[in-house]
Chain A
Amino acid sequence: MAFSAMKERYRNKINEVVLGATKEEGGTRGYTVTVGGESALPFLHFEGEIPNRPIVALEVWDVAPTDWHESFTTYFGDVFDNPAQWAKKCVEEYGADVIAVRLKGADPDVADASPEDCVKVVKDILAAVSCPLIVLGCGKAEKDNQVLPAVAEAAAGENLLIGSAEQENYKSLAAACMVHKHSLIASSPIDINICKQLNILITEMNLPAERIVIDPTTAALGYGLEYGYSIMERARIGALQGDKMLAMPILGNVGHEVWRAKEANISAEDMPGWGEQPSRGFLWEATTATALLQAGMNIVVMRHPAAVALVKQNITELMKPTSFEE
């Protein structure tokens, strides 16, 4: 008798969200990237369609980072002062699917860059690379509300993925994305209800659900990874079971979280039992990322090129169709 696998049947699938727009579509990108669309839990190809592979974004800052571990100098030291070149290197040498521009310089406590400065950085990067862009603010709502709408307007039609909208602050970003044809990241603090509520609030402003990506908050390995994992998994199961207000692709700021962890940064001299920092650091990032891929993450925002290589290899293997089906 032939083996027949038990299959879970789901009522719903994850929305497909397109990043970027080509010339025909009103932008200037060489190609677009689509995420989401799966109708089964991560990589369970036998149960449903997994039409798009998860993608990796590399972070590029508008100012040279001062708090990144010195080991990053090896990879980016020559381009830290030139965001356009930095982005180009990420795509051409390190295999980034898309670039995540973090406008850290806009932070009043960092460089207090003006909206015009930020617009210029984004424009420069758009000119230097042909891949789609994610644009992240500095994280301070008041300033982001000035900077991000300006970027959205200047890059109208490019279909950037802009972030992040939060429950206390979503209106101006959602409005900017709607008017200038971009997609939006909706962030929630490890809370499935707020995640859903924010999606409802944003879609009620008439931004289509297919232009929203959720960031339910993640943490690094050893720092509460399991909490982020549970919420992502719950969102996925909820979405597949029919909850349209959870059916958005998931983005995770993995690099940002991992490189705040002591385990990624401390030297072997300080912690002789932990092994050499260079490999420990990127493995910490790769481990965190691959764990979260299993929870359903679609866009991994990372920092370390070696970790990116490992994660992409992992994705490639996981995207091979499962073999026991006839």
Chain B
Amino acid sequence: MEKATVLFTPDNLAVDVEPGTSLLQAANLAGIELVSSCGGDGTCGRCLVKVQDGYVKVKDGGNISPRAKKAGLVLACKTFAEGNVVVDIPSRSRLEEHQVLLDEQLLLEKDIDGAEGFSLQPLCQKLAVTLTPPTLEENIADWERLQTAIRSALSCSDVRISMSVLRQLPEALRAGDWQVTVGVTQINGCAEVITIEPGHTTSREVYGVAIDIGTTTVAAQLIDLVNGFTVSKKGSYNKQARFGDDVISRIIHASERPEGLAELHQTIISTINDLLAELLQPGNLAAKDVLMVTVAANTTMTHLFLGLPPKYIRLEPYIPLAAATPPVKAQELGINVNPEAYVVCFPSVASYVGGDIVSGTLVTNVAKDERVTLFIDIGTNGEMVLGNQDWLVSAACSAGPAFEGGGITYGMRAMKGAIDSVDIDPETFEVKVSTIGRCKARGICGSGLIDCLATFRNVGIIDRAGKMQTDIQTPRLRQSDEGWEFILVYGAESESGRDIVITENDIKNLLRAKAAVYAGIRSMLNAVQLEMEMIERVLIAGGFGNYLNIGDAITIGLLPDLPAEKYTFIGNSSLKGARLALISKEAWQEAQELGEKITYLELSAGNDFMEEFMSALFLPHTDMSLFPSITNVK
């Protein structure tokens, strides 16, 4: 059968496919990443494209709005090329243009490095070793000779070497006249020689990379392991997004398609390799100088990163394959650093409390502080840890990706063009917005959404149940095919030329997300029989925006009504923990212990969480006595 050519505009990229291939697959083949939150099931309605020319077959049943249909758009996943076609991809259907805002640009985030209490003892270092040359009388083998020297230098009895490095050993020793520089990794009490160079090299450059793999975004830092300084930072989308927005759809993809797991594994490896290329560029550093990689990720992402089947994470009773995984060589995973470099992943606590949370707990010193601390990471999921130096419990609630922009009509991640704060005049309902990068608005990010919900409530656009008050007098409130919506930015001022709106449905999604987080906190407190007031500090992590307005977050009932001074916003704590572990053996050791020490509470067992969730579906909460600072203002 003849191949069909699909030409994508405005990129002018053409790809030959079998007839009957979906436009979504064709786009992937052409290297164009489309937004496809549902993973090609036709339910998210985001992979909209326009067929300019040619013959396609459109399957019924996809989630496409009448408005989009009228504009001639189709869902790429439900449209199949039957012959040569020309397809136009609008900018909002693309994934690739997005860039993740890194924490260096965050405004009100408290900088924690967590290095207090830990000395600089990187997981990998270069040692200059001088050996006594062998003689006829003193005739120990080369390796044992080197081993003895390293043992005494590191005071470590268990010193190993890999086969491939061993093969280089005899020539290196002799070329350097019994002086060599060795790269040694020390993990979990065991040292391993991973590189060997003749002579005492002058630079002794050694680098490590700390990586945070989020369901949505991936962030990485290049660290100079000699002094512990950060050389560069980069972030990007997790390219796995095209297989679905949340961990569940990724697990389904990995479990139910024959090549699914391999595809997901390759995709995250390629995401990381792209990041590494960018990380190394500024100083023109060579990949071979990167000798250590630490990875903090949620349990599912850890599985997919290591190529482990995640199937049973999704099925009751939700069991991961491994909580702590063994160190693995970079070459085995295909990561473009020194092939002998070790990659270590933070241990998980449970299926839905992963290494990212252990990493955050490590860097925030929750387990070393006598104060009762609540640590919440609001990402695609809401995970939390509560406790102090004596005890730690954790829980996860399925908040969904709303605060990262998922499931919100004009939702987007915190990047250029995202509305991050909203101001509305209570009399005229005129709107002022500010965007990241001070440019034309493209959408609205997590902190903007929280602000929006609080402001809508304060000026009376919505009632406490989240219902739009249709009797207010403003042209910004209008009815569409899908219900009521409020125009934040008119098309004339937005980047796409379309009105940026918040719909009643968006508000419902936000309500559910914030209710899940709050219900998780309450359920966890109930389980340990602690009152809200007994929490002495609250640490908020998450990449949902430039900043977090704690007042707004309390107004909408996302966070407990505690005095503002108890709160600290710490940004991406998972990445910071990964960096800390890289430069401190002690910290890495502690992370291992934390993985075992944190008690996991399964919120889906029993009715408590569901009841808490239902009563939190209100602004701020059905039990108003939980929010005294808000309800006293009438």
Residues of chain A whose beta carbon lies under 8 Å from any beta carbon of chain B: 167-168, 171, 191, 193, 196-197, 200-201, 204, 243, 245
A167, B465: Cβ atoms closer than 8 Å: yes
Q: Which residues of chain A have C-beta atoms less than 8 A from B634's C-beta?
A: 204
Q: Which residues of chain B have C-beta atoms less than 8 A from A168's C-beta?
A: 467
B622, A193: Cβ atoms closer than 8 Å: yes
**How far, in whole Å, are A245 and B626 apart by their CA atoms in the complex?**
13
**How far, in whole Å, are A196 and B621 apart by their CA atoms in the complex?**
10
7 cross-chain pairs, A with B, having the tightest CB-CB distances, nearest first: A196-B622, A193-B614, A193-B615, A193-B622, A197-B618, A197-B622, A197-B465
Q: How far is the CB of B467 from chain A (nearest CB, A)?
A: 7
Contact A200:B464 (CB < 8 A) given known A171-B471, A193-B622, A245-B624: yes
**How far, in whole Å, are A274 and B316 apart by their CA atoms in the complex?**
47
**How far, in whole Å, are A202 and B623 apart by their CA atoms in the complex?**
15
Q: How many A-B residue pairs have CB under 8 A?
A: 29
B617 at the interface (CB under 8 A from A): yes
Q: What would be 26 A-B contacts, judged by CB atoms less than 8 Å apart?
A: A167-B465, A167-B467, A168-B467, A171-B471, A191-B614, A193-B614, A193-B615, A193-B617, A193-B618, A193-B622, A196-B615, A196-B622, A196-B623, A197-B464, A197-B465, A197-B618, A197-B622, A200-B464, A200-B618, A200-B624, A201-B463, A201-B464, A204-B464, A204-B634, A243-B623, A245-B624
Q: Which residue of B lies closest to A204 (CB)?
A: B464
Q: Which residue of A lies closest to B624 (CB)?
A: A200
Q: Which residue of B lies closest to A238 (CB)?
A: B623
Q: Which residues of chain B have C-beta atoms less than 8 A from A197's C-beta?
A: 464-465, 618, 622
Q: How far is the CB of B386 from chain A (nearest CB, A)?
A: 25
Q: How far is the CB of B241 from chain A (nearest CB, A)?
A: 35
**How far, in whole Å, are A167 and B618 apart by their CA atoms in the complex?**
12
**How far, in whole Å, are A167 and B615 apart by their CA atoms in the complex?**
15
Q: Which residues of chain B have C-beta atoms less than 8 A from A193's C-beta?
A: 614-615, 617-618, 622
Q: Which residues of chain A have C-beta atoms less than 8 A from B467's C-beta?
A: 167-168
A200, B471: Cβ atoms closer than 8 Å: no
Consensus secondary structure, chain B interface: loop
Q: Which residue of A lies closest to B613 (CB)?
A: A193
Assuming A197-B464, A201-B464, what are 4 further A-B pairs, CB within 8 angstroms?
A: A193-B622, A196-B615, A196-B622, A200-B618
Q: How far is the CB of B18 from chain A (nearest CB, A)?
A: 51
**How far, in whole Å, are A193 and B464 apart by their CA atoms in the complex?**
12
Q: How far is the CB of A240 from chain B (nearest CB, A)?
A: 16
Q: Which residues of chain B have C-beta atoms less than 8 A from A204's C-beta?
A: 464, 634
Q: How far is the CB of A193 from chain B (nearest CB, A)?
A: 5
Q: Which residues of chain A have C-beta atoms less than 8 A from B615's C-beta?
A: 193, 196
Centre residue among B464, B465, B617, B622 by max chain A CB count within 10 A = B622
Give chain B interface residues in 601-634, CB to chain A under 8 Å: 614-615, 617-618, 622-624, 634
**How far, in whole Å, are A196 and B614 apart by their CA atoms in the complex?**
12
Q: How far is the CB of B506 from chain A (nearest CB, A)?
A: 18
Q: Which residue of A lies closest to B618 (CB)?
A: A197
**How far, in whole Å, are A245 and B617 apart by their CA atoms in the complex?**
16
Q: Which residue of A lies closest to B469 (CB)?
A: A171
Q: How far is the CB of A179 from chain B (nearest CB, A)?
A: 16
Q: Which residues of chain A have C-beta atoms less than 8 A from B614's C-beta?
A: 191, 193
Q: Number of B residues whose C-beta is below 8 Å from A? A: 13
Give chain B interface residues in 462-490, CB to chain A under 8 Å: 463-465, 467, 471
Q: Which residues of chain B have C-beta atoms less than 8 A from A245's C-beta?
A: 622, 624
Q: How far is the CB of B64 from chain A (nearest CB, A)?
A: 28
Q: How far is the CB of A204 from chain B (nearest CB, A)?
A: 7
**How far, in whole Å, are A197 and B615 apart by their CA atoms in the complex?**
9
Q: Which residues of chain B have C-beta atoms less than 8 A from A201's C-beta?
A: 463-465
Q: How far is the CB of B623 from chain A (nearest CB, A)?
A: 8
Q: Which residues of chain B have C-beta atoms less than 8 A from A167's C-beta?
A: 465, 467
Q: Which residue of B lies closest to A198 (CB)?
A: B465
Q: Which residues of chain A have C-beta atoms less than 8 A from B617's C-beta?
A: 193
Q: How far is the CB of A167 from chain B (nearest CB, A)?
A: 6
Q: How far is the CB of B362 from chain A (nearest CB, A)?
A: 38
Q: How far is the CB of B626 from chain A (nearest CB, A)?
A: 12
**How far, in whole Å, are A193 and B465 apart by their CA atoms in the complex?**
11
Q: How far is the CB of B557 from chain A (nearest CB, A)?
A: 12
**How far, in whole Å, are A157 and B588 apart by their CA atoms in the complex?**
75
Q: How far is the CB of A212 from chain B (nearest CB, A)?
A: 15
Q: Which residues of chain B have C-beta atoms less than 8 A from A191's C-beta?
A: 614
**How far, in whole Å, are A171 and B469 apart by their CA atoms in the complex?**
10
Q: Which residue of B lies closest to A206 (CB)?
A: B634
**How far, in whole Å, are A323 and B623 apart by their CA atoms in the complex?**
38
**How far, in whole Å, are A129 and B615 apart by their CA atoms in the complex?**
43
Centre residue among A171, A191, A196, A200 by max chain B CB count within 10 A = A200
**How far, in whole Å, are A200 and B624 apart by their CA atoms in the complex?**
9
**How far, in whole Å, are A200 and B463 apart by their CA atoms in the complex?**
10
Q: How far is the CB of A7 from chain B (nearest CB, A)?
A: 25
Q: How far is the CB of A169 from chain B (nearest CB, A)?
A: 10
Q: Which residue of A lies closest to B463 (CB)?
A: A201
Q: Which residue of A lies closest to B617 (CB)?
A: A193
Q: Convert B543-556 into 0s and 1s, putting 1 for each residue whose CB lies closer than 8 angstroms to a CB of A.
A: 00000000000000
**How far, in whole Å, are A191 and B615 apart by their CA atoms in the complex?**
10
Q: How far is the CB of A118 from chain B (nearest CB, A)?
A: 23
Q: How far is the CB of B619 from chain A (nearest CB, A)?
A: 10
Q: Convert B355-386 into 0s and 1s, putting 1 for each residue whose CB lies closer than 8 angstroms to a CB of A.
A: 00000000000000000000000000000000
Q: How far is the CB of B504 from chain A (nearest CB, A)?
A: 12
Q: Which residue of A lies closest to B631 (CB)?
A: A200
**How far, in whole Å, are A243 and B624 apart by their CA atoms in the complex?**
10
Q: How far is the CB of A200 from chain B (nearest CB, A)?
A: 6
Centre residue among A168, A193, A204, A245 by max chain B CB count within 10 A = A193
**How far, in whole Å, are A201 and B614 apart by their CA atoms in the complex?**
17
**How far, in whole Å, are A197 and B464 apart by their CA atoms in the complex?**
8
Q: How far is the CB of A49 from chain B (nearest CB, A)?
A: 24
Q: Which residues of chain B have C-beta atoms less than 8 A from A200's C-beta?
A: 464, 618, 622, 624
Q: Which residue of A lies closest to B616 (CB)?
A: A193
**How far, in whole Å, are A171 and B472 apart by their CA atoms in the complex?**
13
Q: Which residues of chain A have C-beta atoms less than 8 A from B463's C-beta?
A: 201
Q: Which residues of chain A have C-beta atoms less than 8 A from B464's C-beta?
A: 197, 200-201, 204
Q: How far is the CB of A288 from chain B (nearest CB, A)?
A: 27
Q: Which residue of B lies closest to A195 (CB)?
A: B622
Q: Which residues of chain A have C-beta atoms less than 8 A from B471's C-beta?
A: 171
Q: How far is the CB of B289 from chain A (nearest CB, A)?
A: 59
**How far, in whole Å, are A201 and B469 apart by their CA atoms in the complex?**
12
Q: Which residue of B lies closest to A191 (CB)?
A: B614
Q: Which residues of chain B have C-beta atoms less than 8 A from A196's C-beta?
A: 615, 622-623
**How far, in whole Å, are A168 and B614 apart by their CA atoms in the complex?**
17
Q: How far is the CB of B311 from chain A (nearest CB, A)?
A: 36
**How far, in whole Å, are A100 and B471 apart by their CA atoms in the complex?**
31
**How far, in whole Å, are A171 and B462 apart by their CA atoms in the complex?**
13
Centre residue among B465, B471, B614, B634 by max chain A CB count within 10 A = B465
Q: Which residue of B lies closest to A170 (CB)?
A: B463
**How far, in whole Å, are A200 and B622 apart by their CA atoms in the complex?**
8
Centre residue among B471, B615, B624 by max chain A CB count within 10 A = B624
